[in-house]
Each structure stands twice: as C-alpha cells, then as structure tokens.
Amino acid sequence: MKAIKRKVFRSLTSRNNEIGIKEFDGFEVEIGERTYNVYRNGYNTVHIVDPATGRSIFKCHATEISEMNAAKTAVKEFYRYGNSLDRFLEMTKTEEYKTFVDIFDAFELAWKLEEGLKKQWGSE
C-alpha cells in the first residue's frame, strides 16, 4: 500500500430504497495502480469506494480508534481476500460498470448545481 492521505469525497448512498449522494471525510489510497477512497461509518464498518462510480467495492469491520489505522486495516483485508481486486478490475470492463459511471456523474453534476444554487441564494 502506498501513501494514504486525507480526502473529502462523495459516494452513493442508499436509504429506504432511495439512492442519493453523500459527502464523506475519509482517505485516498492507492491499491494496485488505481486510487480509491476509504471511509469509516458510525458502525465501525470501513468502506473502500471506487471514485468513478461512488460505489463501495469492499467493506469490513474495523475497531481501531484511529480512522487512518481503520482504513489501513480495510486495505489489508481487501488484499487478504485474494482476487477481490482482480474481480473488480474485470468488472470495470463491462457495460454495467460504464452505466454506473454515467449515473454517478449525473449525481455529481446535480450536487454541484445544488451547491452553486445554495451559494447564489446564500442558504444551506
């Protein structure tokens, strides 16, 4: 695992059968030759997120107090599960993956437009 650094990013979320986008304060980490986002939710579940789709590609339980150590644990677990990275990279070649990229891009655009409107009208 190469350097890990702090990053604020957005990821897809699902609640009550509704899909949305949420901003997370997490980390950016290189796994293989690609960069991924990592965050820990309030239940000590650490997610590794594909930044192109905003989807979690791996999750595990981590009890470390330090968020950075929890992120490192998730990356180690990801590698420990053998072919997880290879399976994900194969999936990136499919039409389904390209569709998820397009969907996430649309959510990102909507987020940026909403943020722009908030700034323009001075509200949150």
pLDDT digits over 77-116, tens only? 998 887 888 889 999 999 999 999 999 999 999 989 988 8
CB 1, CB 28: distance < 8 Å:
no
Residue-level pLDDT at 1: 58
Give 2-19 pLDDT, tens digit per residue.
689 999 999 988 888 888
The domain ranges of the chain are 4-121
pTM of the model: 0.86
The rounded distance, in Å, linking the Cα atoms of 102 and 6 is: 26
Closest by alpha carbon to 36, among 93, 95, 70, 85? 85
Q: What are phi and psi of 115, to 5 degrees?
A: -65, -40
